[in-house]
Structure 1
Protein backbone atom coordinates (compact mmCIF):
# COMPACT_ATOMS: atom_id res chain seq x y z
CA UNK A 1 0.00 0.00 0.00
CA UNK A 2 1.23 3.55 -0.65
CA UNK A 3 2.98 5.02 2.37
CA UNK A 4 2.61 8.65 1.29
CA UNK A 5 0.02 10.73 3.16
CA UNK A 6 -3.33 10.56 1.42
CA UNK A 7 -4.45 14.05 2.46
CA UNK A 8 -4.32 15.45 -1.08
CA UNK A 9 -6.39 12.91 -2.98
CA UNK A 10 -9.51 14.26 -4.62
CA UNK A 11 -12.74 12.26 -4.26
CA UNK A 12 -12.91 9.35 -6.68
CA UNK A 13 -15.33 10.21 -9.48
CA UNK A 14 -17.89 7.71 -10.69
CA UNK A 15 -16.27 5.67 -13.48
CA UNK A 16 -18.20 3.57 -16.01
CA UNK A 17 -16.42 0.23 -16.27
CA UNK A 18 -15.43 -1.44 -19.52
CA UNK A 19 -18.34 -3.82 -19.03
CA UNK A 20 -20.57 -0.76 -18.61
CA UNK A 21 -19.72 0.57 -22.09
CA UNK A 22 -19.71 -2.86 -23.69
CA UNK A 23 -16.00 -3.48 -24.33
CA UNK A 24 -15.44 -6.82 -26.10
CA UNK A 25 -12.68 -8.25 -23.92
CA UNK A 26 -11.79 -10.79 -26.62
CA UNK A 27 -10.29 -8.01 -28.73
CA UNK A 28 -7.50 -6.96 -26.38
CA UNK A 29 -4.35 -8.76 -25.32
CA UNK A 30 -4.82 -10.86 -22.20
CA UNK A 31 -1.92 -9.41 -20.21
CA UNK A 32 -1.92 -5.93 -18.70
CA UNK A 33 0.95 -3.45 -19.06
CA UNK A 34 1.98 -1.28 -16.12
CA UNK A 35 4.38 1.57 -15.61
CA UNK A 36 6.04 2.59 -12.35
CA UNK A 37 3.91 5.54 -11.28
CA UNK A 38 1.69 8.34 -12.61
CA UNK A 39 3.43 11.72 -12.70
CA UNK A 40 1.42 13.43 -15.43
CA UNK A 41 -1.90 13.33 -17.25
CA UNK A 42 -2.06 14.06 -20.98
CA UNK A 43 -5.39 15.46 -22.18
CA UNK A 44 -6.58 14.58 -25.70
CA UNK A 45 -9.64 15.02 -27.84
CA UNK A 46 -10.87 11.97 -29.69
CA UNK A 47 -11.29 13.99 -32.91
CA UNK A 48 -14.55 12.09 -33.46
CA UNK A 49 -17.64 14.22 -34.06
CA UNK A 50 -19.35 16.48 -31.56
CA UNK A 51 -22.90 15.56 -32.59
CA UNK A 52 -23.23 12.35 -30.57
CA UNK A 53 -25.68 12.14 -27.67
CA UNK A 54 -24.48 10.95 -24.28
CA UNK A 55 -26.49 7.75 -24.76
CA UNK A 56 -24.43 7.15 -27.91
CA UNK A 57 -21.09 7.65 -26.12
CA UNK A 58 -20.57 3.91 -25.38
CA UNK A 59 -20.87 3.11 -29.09
CA UNK A 60 -18.31 5.86 -29.86
CA UNK A 61 -15.98 4.22 -27.31
CA UNK A 62 -16.45 0.82 -28.87
CA UNK A 63 -15.51 2.27 -32.26
CA UNK A 64 -12.33 3.90 -30.87
CA UNK A 65 -11.42 0.65 -29.07
CA UNK A 66 -11.85 -1.42 -32.23
CA UNK A 67 -9.84 1.11 -34.26
CA UNK A 68 -6.96 1.13 -31.76
CA UNK A 69 -6.74 -2.66 -31.61
CA UNK A 70 -7.70 -3.71 -35.15
CA UNK A 71 -6.36 -0.82 -37.26
CA UNK A 72 -3.49 0.50 -35.11
CA UNK A 73 -2.44 -2.93 -33.80
CA UNK A 74 -2.33 -1.83 -30.17
CA UNK A 75 -2.82 -4.22 -27.28
CA UNK A 76 -5.97 -2.42 -26.09
CA UNK A 77 -7.63 0.99 -26.15
CA UNK A 78 -4.88 3.61 -26.11
CA UNK A 79 -6.43 6.02 -23.59
CA UNK A 80 -6.60 5.24 -19.88
CA UNK A 81 -9.86 7.18 -19.50
CA UNK A 82 -12.42 8.83 -21.75
CA UNK A 83 -14.95 11.54 -20.91
CA UNK A 84 -18.14 12.39 -22.81
CA UNK A 85 -19.92 15.73 -23.24
CA UNK A 86 -22.08 15.08 -20.18
CA UNK A 87 -18.98 14.67 -18.00
CA UNK A 88 -19.29 10.90 -17.62
CA UNK A 89 -15.91 9.24 -17.02
CA UNK A 90 -15.24 5.87 -18.67
CA UNK A 91 -12.55 3.29 -17.97
CA UNK A 92 -10.31 3.02 -21.04
CA UNK A 93 -7.37 0.63 -21.14
CA UNK A 94 -7.88 -2.37 -18.87
CA UNK A 95 -5.79 -3.20 -15.82
CA UNK A 96 -7.35 -1.29 -12.93
CA UNK A 97 -8.46 2.34 -12.79
CA UNK A 98 -6.37 3.13 -9.68
CA UNK A 99 -3.23 1.39 -10.99
CA UNK A 100 -0.46 2.87 -13.17
CA UNK A 101 -1.67 1.19 -16.35
CA UNK A 102 0.59 2.04 -19.29
CA UNK A 103 -1.44 3.46 -22.16
CA UNK A 104 -0.67 4.31 -25.79
CA UNK A 105 -1.61 7.97 -25.93
CA UNK A 106 1.44 10.26 -26.14
CA UNK A 107 4.35 8.85 -28.12
CA UNK A 108 7.53 9.07 -26.07
CA UNK A 109 5.69 9.69 -22.81
CA UNK A 110 3.53 6.65 -22.11
CA UNK A 111 5.79 5.77 -19.16
CA UNK A 112 4.73 7.21 -15.80
CA UNK A 113 1.72 9.03 -17.24
CA UNK A 114 -1.93 8.57 -18.13
CA UNK A 115 -4.02 9.62 -21.10
CA UNK A 116 -7.51 11.14 -20.91
CA UNK A 117 -9.55 11.68 -24.08
CA UNK A 118 -12.56 13.97 -24.21
CA UNK A 119 -14.98 12.73 -26.87
CA UNK A 120 -15.27 15.32 -29.62
CA UNK A 121 -13.14 17.76 -31.62
CA UNK A 122 -12.18 21.05 -29.99
CA UNK A 123 -10.09 22.96 -32.51
CA UNK A 124 -13.04 25.25 -33.30
CA UNK A 125 -15.72 24.11 -30.82
CA UNK A 126 -15.73 24.84 -27.11
CA UNK A 127 -15.46 21.80 -24.85
CA UNK A 128 -18.58 21.31 -22.72
CA UNK A 129 -18.21 22.66 -19.17
CA UNK A 130 -19.26 19.25 -17.78
CA UNK A 131 -16.38 17.57 -19.62
CA UNK A 132 -13.81 20.12 -18.42
CA UNK A 133 -15.06 19.69 -14.86
CA UNK A 134 -14.79 15.90 -15.19
CA UNK A 135 -11.16 16.18 -16.33
CA UNK A 136 -10.45 18.18 -13.16
CA UNK A 137 -12.21 15.63 -10.94
CA UNK A 138 -10.42 12.70 -12.56
CA UNK A 139 -6.96 14.26 -12.36
CA UNK A 140 -7.55 15.41 -8.75
CA UNK A 141 -8.21 11.80 -7.80
CA UNK A 142 -5.75 9.86 -9.95
CA UNK A 143 -2.77 12.23 -9.65
CA UNK A 144 -3.56 12.52 -5.94
CA UNK A 145 -3.17 8.77 -5.50
CA UNK A 146 0.42 9.21 -6.64
CA UNK A 147 1.15 12.34 -4.59
CA UNK A 148 1.07 14.77 -7.52
CA UNK A 149 -0.13 18.38 -7.34
CA UNK A 150 -2.05 19.06 -10.59
CA UNK A 151 -0.44 22.52 -10.80
CA UNK A 152 3.09 21.10 -10.60
CA UNK A 153 5.69 20.84 -13.33
CA UNK A 154 7.20 17.38 -13.64
CA UNK A 155 10.16 15.96 -15.56
CA UNK A 156 9.61 12.98 -17.84
CA UNK A 157 12.28 11.21 -19.90
CA UNK A 158 11.29 10.91 -23.55
CA UNK A 159 11.07 7.49 -25.09
CA UNK A 160 11.47 9.16 -28.49
CA UNK A 161 8.96 11.20 -30.47
CA UNK A 162 8.74 14.11 -32.88
CA UNK A 163 9.10 16.82 -30.22
CA UNK A 164 11.60 15.50 -27.68
CA UNK A 165 14.46 13.20 -28.77
CA UNK A 166 14.81 9.86 -27.04
CA UNK A 167 16.48 10.14 -23.65
CA UNK A 168 15.89 13.88 -23.32
CA UNK A 169 14.37 15.24 -20.13
CA UNK A 170 11.17 17.17 -20.75
CA UNK A 171 9.68 19.59 -18.24
CA UNK A 172 5.92 19.22 -18.55
CA UNK A 173 2.85 20.29 -16.60
CA UNK A 174 1.36 17.54 -14.44
CA UNK A 175 -1.79 18.19 -16.49
CA UNK A 176 -0.57 18.63 -20.07
CA UNK A 177 -2.13 18.59 -23.50
CA UNK A 178 -1.12 15.94 -26.04
CA UNK A 179 0.64 18.72 -28.01
CA UNK A 180 2.97 19.43 -25.07
CA UNK A 181 4.66 16.07 -25.52
CA UNK A 182 4.15 15.51 -29.26
CA UNK A 183 3.78 17.80 -32.28
CA UNK A 184 0.04 17.60 -32.92
CA UNK A 185 -2.97 19.93 -32.76
CA UNK A 186 -4.58 17.63 -30.17
CA UNK A 187 -6.48 18.33 -27.89
CA UNK A 188 -7.66 21.26 -30.02
CA UNK A 189 -7.06 24.93 -29.18
CA UNK A 190 -10.34 25.41 -27.32
CA UNK A 191 -9.78 22.46 -24.95
CA UNK A 192 -6.07 23.23 -24.60
CA UNK A 193 -6.91 26.73 -23.35
CA UNK A 194 -8.99 25.19 -20.54
CA UNK A 195 -6.09 23.25 -19.01
CA UNK A 196 -5.13 26.07 -16.62
CA UNK A 197 -8.70 26.01 -15.30
CA UNK A 198 -8.44 22.22 -14.95
CA UNK A 199 -5.20 22.41 -12.96
CA UNK A 200 -6.60 24.98 -10.53
CA UNK A 201 -9.90 23.14 -10.07
CA UNK A 202 -8.12 19.81 -9.56
CA UNK A 203 -5.80 21.34 -6.94
CA UNK A 204 -8.83 22.73 -5.09
CA UNK A 205 -10.46 19.30 -5.14
CA UNK A 206 -7.26 17.92 -3.59
CA UNK A 207 -7.60 20.49 -0.80
CA UNK A 208 -4.47 22.40 -1.81
Structure 2
Protein backbone atom coordinates (compact mmCIF):
# COMPACT_ATOMS: atom_id res chain seq x y z
CA UNK A 1 0.00 0.00 0.00
CA UNK A 2 1.32 3.47 -0.90
CA UNK A 3 1.76 5.89 2.04
CA UNK A 4 -0.99 8.45 2.41
CA UNK A 5 -0.12 12.06 1.71
CA UNK A 6 -0.91 14.66 4.33
CA UNK A 7 -4.02 16.01 2.58
CA UNK A 8 -5.60 12.55 2.30
CA UNK A 9 -4.70 11.75 5.90
CA UNK A 10 -6.33 14.95 7.14
CA UNK A 11 -9.52 14.10 5.30
CA UNK A 12 -9.60 10.67 6.95
CA UNK A 13 -8.92 12.13 10.36
CA UNK A 14 -11.62 14.77 9.94
CA UNK A 15 -14.12 12.09 8.96
CA UNK A 16 -13.28 9.75 11.83
CA UNK A 17 -12.17 12.16 14.55
CA UNK A 18 -15.57 12.26 16.26
CA UNK A 19 -15.34 8.55 16.91
CA UNK A 20 -11.80 8.60 18.31
CA UNK A 21 -11.47 8.70 22.06
CA UNK A 22 -15.14 9.42 22.60
CA UNK A 23 -15.40 6.93 25.46
CA UNK A 24 -14.19 7.27 29.05
CA UNK A 25 -11.47 9.73 28.08
CA UNK A 26 -14.03 12.23 26.79
CA UNK A 27 -13.57 14.46 23.75
CA UNK A 28 -11.04 13.31 21.17
CA UNK A 29 -7.96 15.46 20.61
CA UNK A 30 -8.01 17.80 17.63
CA UNK A 31 -5.77 16.47 14.91
CA UNK A 32 -6.40 19.35 12.53
CA UNK A 33 -8.67 19.69 9.55
CA UNK A 34 -8.25 20.45 5.87
CA UNK A 35 -8.04 24.16 5.16
CA UNK A 36 -11.14 25.81 3.74
CA UNK A 37 -10.46 27.20 0.29
CA UNK A 38 -10.05 30.98 0.32
CA UNK A 39 -11.96 33.03 -2.23
CA UNK A 40 -9.84 33.18 -5.38
CA UNK A 41 -11.25 35.01 -8.40
CA UNK A 42 -10.58 33.15 -11.63
CA UNK A 43 -9.09 34.62 -14.78
CA UNK A 44 -12.56 34.72 -16.31
CA UNK A 45 -13.91 36.63 -13.32
CA UNK A 46 -11.38 39.45 -13.49
CA UNK A 47 -11.44 39.65 -17.28
CA UNK A 48 -8.14 38.14 -18.35
CA UNK A 49 -7.01 38.05 -21.92
CA UNK A 50 -6.45 34.66 -23.49
CA UNK A 51 -2.93 33.30 -23.17
CA UNK A 52 -0.92 33.69 -26.38
CA UNK A 53 0.15 30.02 -26.31
CA UNK A 54 -1.06 26.83 -24.70
CA UNK A 55 -0.61 26.63 -20.94
CA UNK A 56 1.56 23.76 -19.73
CA UNK A 57 -0.03 21.79 -16.88
CA UNK A 58 2.44 19.50 -15.13
CA UNK A 59 1.40 16.21 -13.56
CA UNK A 60 3.47 16.95 -10.49
CA UNK A 61 3.18 18.91 -7.29
CA UNK A 62 5.20 22.01 -6.42
CA UNK A 63 7.59 21.70 -3.50
CA UNK A 64 7.65 25.30 -2.29
CA UNK A 65 6.00 28.72 -2.34
CA UNK A 66 7.77 31.89 -3.48
CA UNK A 67 6.55 35.24 -2.15
CA UNK A 68 6.90 38.30 -4.41
CA UNK A 69 5.84 41.93 -4.39
CA UNK A 70 4.58 43.67 -7.51
CA UNK A 71 6.83 46.72 -6.99
CA UNK A 72 3.85 48.91 -7.87
CA UNK A 73 2.56 51.93 -5.91
CA UNK A 74 1.12 51.21 -2.46
CA UNK A 75 -2.44 51.97 -3.48
CA UNK A 76 -5.04 52.99 -0.91
CA UNK A 77 -7.81 51.61 -3.09
CA UNK A 78 -8.59 48.34 -1.33
CA UNK A 79 -11.59 47.41 -3.46
CA UNK A 80 -12.11 44.23 -5.44
CA UNK A 81 -12.51 46.33 -8.58
CA UNK A 82 -9.01 47.67 -8.04
CA UNK A 83 -7.68 44.13 -7.52
CA UNK A 84 -9.19 43.08 -10.84
CA UNK A 85 -7.74 46.14 -12.57
CA UNK A 86 -4.32 45.32 -11.09
CA UNK A 87 -4.50 41.78 -12.44
CA UNK A 88 -5.33 43.05 -15.92
CA UNK A 89 -2.45 45.53 -15.76
CA UNK A 90 0.01 42.85 -14.67
CA UNK A 91 -1.10 40.52 -17.45
CA UNK A 92 -0.77 43.29 -20.04
CA UNK A 93 2.77 44.04 -18.83
CA UNK A 94 3.81 40.39 -18.79
CA UNK A 95 2.43 39.67 -22.26
CA UNK A 96 3.15 42.95 -24.07
CA UNK A 97 6.43 44.00 -22.43
CA UNK A 98 7.97 40.77 -21.14
CA UNK A 99 6.65 38.77 -24.10
CA UNK A 100 5.48 35.93 -21.86
CA UNK A 101 2.51 33.82 -22.86
CA UNK A 102 0.42 34.93 -19.89
CA UNK A 103 0.68 36.36 -16.38
CA UNK A 104 3.91 35.10 -14.85
CA UNK A 105 2.78 34.20 -11.33
CA UNK A 106 0.16 31.71 -10.22
CA UNK A 107 -1.75 34.04 -7.89
CA UNK A 108 -1.97 37.75 -7.08
CA UNK A 109 -2.85 39.17 -3.65
CA UNK A 110 -4.08 42.78 -3.54
CA UNK A 111 -3.55 45.29 -0.76
CA UNK A 112 -7.23 44.86 0.05
CA UNK A 113 -6.73 41.12 0.53
CA UNK A 114 -8.42 40.02 -2.70
CA UNK A 115 -6.75 37.01 -4.33
CA UNK A 116 -6.93 36.46 -8.08
CA UNK A 117 -5.73 33.67 -10.31
CA UNK A 118 -2.65 34.70 -12.26
CA UNK A 119 -1.66 32.33 -15.03
CA UNK A 120 -4.63 30.52 -16.55
CA UNK A 121 -5.48 27.07 -15.09
CA UNK A 122 -3.52 27.72 -11.89
CA UNK A 123 -6.71 27.67 -9.81
CA UNK A 124 -7.96 24.38 -11.27
CA UNK A 125 -4.54 22.81 -10.70
CA UNK A 126 -4.50 24.01 -7.09
CA UNK A 127 -7.95 22.59 -6.44
CA UNK A 128 -6.87 19.27 -7.99
CA UNK A 129 -3.91 19.12 -5.61
CA UNK A 130 -1.73 16.92 -7.81
CA UNK A 131 -0.95 19.21 -10.73
CA UNK A 132 0.65 22.61 -11.22
CA UNK A 133 0.96 25.09 -14.04
CA UNK A 134 4.36 25.98 -15.45
CA UNK A 135 4.79 29.67 -14.66
CA UNK A 136 7.31 32.46 -15.30
CA UNK A 137 7.82 34.12 -11.91
CA UNK A 138 11.40 32.96 -11.16
CA UNK A 139 14.02 31.31 -13.37
CA UNK A 140 14.75 27.77 -12.28
CA UNK A 141 11.67 27.61 -10.05
CA UNK A 142 8.77 27.78 -12.45
CA UNK A 143 8.15 24.02 -12.51
CA UNK A 144 8.48 23.48 -8.75
CA UNK A 145 7.33 26.63 -6.93
CA UNK A 146 3.99 28.42 -6.62
CA UNK A 147 4.49 32.15 -7.16
CA UNK A 148 2.37 34.67 -5.23
CA UNK A 149 2.59 38.36 -6.14
CA UNK A 150 1.62 40.77 -3.36
CA UNK A 151 0.53 44.20 -4.52
CA UNK A 152 2.82 47.05 -3.53
CA UNK A 153 6.44 47.81 -2.70
CA UNK A 154 7.70 46.57 0.67
CA UNK A 155 11.28 47.76 0.73
CA UNK A 156 10.52 50.10 3.64
CA UNK A 157 6.78 49.76 4.29
CA UNK A 158 4.75 47.15 6.13
CA UNK A 159 2.07 45.37 4.07
CA UNK A 160 -1.54 46.13 5.07
CA UNK A 161 -3.13 43.77 7.58
CA UNK A 162 -5.68 42.57 5.01
CA UNK A 163 -2.96 41.64 2.55
CA UNK A 164 -0.96 39.78 5.19
CA UNK A 165 -4.01 37.92 6.52
CA UNK A 166 -4.98 36.91 3.00
CA UNK A 167 -1.42 35.75 2.31
CA UNK A 168 -1.48 33.52 5.41
CA UNK A 169 -4.78 31.94 4.35
CA UNK A 170 -3.66 31.42 0.76
CA UNK A 171 -0.33 29.87 1.80
CA UNK A 172 -2.09 27.58 4.28
CA UNK A 173 -4.46 26.36 1.57
CA UNK A 174 -1.62 25.82 -0.89
CA UNK A 175 0.35 23.90 1.75
CA UNK A 176 -2.66 21.68 2.44
CA UNK A 177 -3.47 21.01 -1.21
CA UNK A 178 0.10 20.22 -2.21
CA UNK A 179 1.42 18.80 1.05
CA UNK A 180 4.03 21.58 1.33
CA UNK A 181 5.55 22.30 4.72
CA UNK A 182 5.31 25.94 5.91
CA UNK A 183 9.10 25.92 6.22
CA UNK A 184 9.17 25.77 2.40
CA UNK A 185 7.86 29.33 2.01
CA UNK A 186 10.60 31.52 0.55
CA UNK A 187 11.16 34.94 -0.94
CA UNK A 188 11.93 35.61 -4.60
CA UNK A 189 15.40 36.85 -3.63
CA UNK A 190 16.28 33.45 -2.19
CA UNK A 191 16.52 32.14 -5.75
CA UNK A 192 17.19 35.20 -7.90
CA UNK A 193 19.24 38.40 -7.70
CA UNK A 194 16.43 40.82 -6.90
CA UNK A 195 15.10 43.07 -4.12
CA UNK A 196 11.76 41.24 -4.31
CA UNK A 197 9.69 40.83 -2.15
CA UNK A 198 11.13 43.91 -0.45
CA UNK A 199 13.25 44.14 2.71
CA UNK A 200 10.27 44.46 5.06
CA UNK A 201 8.17 41.64 3.64
CA UNK A 202 11.22 39.41 3.34
CA UNK A 203 12.00 39.89 7.03
CA UNK A 204 8.39 38.90 7.80
CA UNK A 205 8.78 35.48 6.18
CA UNK A 206 9.81 33.69 9.42
CA UNK A 207 6.63 35.00 11.04
CA UNK A 208 4.63 34.06 7.94
CA UNK A 209 5.89 30.48 8.22
CA UNK A 210 4.88 30.40 11.89
CA UNK A 211 1.43 31.86 11.20
CA UNK A 212 0.80 29.40 8.37
CA UNK A 213 1.91 26.51 10.58
CA UNK A 214 -0.42 27.71 13.34
CA UNK A 215 -3.32 27.89 10.89
CA UNK A 216 -2.61 24.35 9.75
Alignment TM class, shorter chain as reference: 0.7 to 0.9
Structure 1 residue runs of 4 or more that deviate by more than 3 Å after TM superposition: none
Instruction: State how 1:27-46 maps to structure 2 within 5 Å.
Output: 28-35=51-58, 36-46=60-70
Q: Normalising by structure 2, what TM-score? A: 0.78
- When you count helix as a share of all residues, which structure comes out higher? 2
What residue is the counterpart of 2:15 in the other structure?
none
What residue is the counterpart of 1:199 in the other structure?
209
SS at 1:42 equivalent? strand
1:132 shift after superposition: 1.4
What residue is the counterpart of 1:21 in the other structure?
46
1:51 shift after superposition: 2.2
Instruction: Indicate the RMSD between aligned Cα atoms, in angstroms.
Output: 1.7
1:10 aligns with 2:35: yes
Instruction: State how 1:131-170 maps to structure 2 within 5 Å.
Output: 131-151=163-183
Structure 2 unmatched runs, 5+: 11-32
Give the Cα separation in 2 of the matches to 1:141 and 1:198: 14
Name the structure, 1 or 2, with higher relative contact order (CA <8 Å, separation 6+): 1
Contact 1:89 1:134 in 2 (8 A): yes
Structure 1 unmatched runs, 5+: 152-173
1:54 shift after superposition: 2.4
Q: How many residues align?
A: 181
What residue is the counterpart of 1:110 in the other structure?
142
1:11 shift after superposition: 2.1
What residue is the counterpart of 2:20 in the other structure?
none
SS at 1:90 equivalent? strand
Q: Normalising by structure 1, what TM-score? A: 0.81
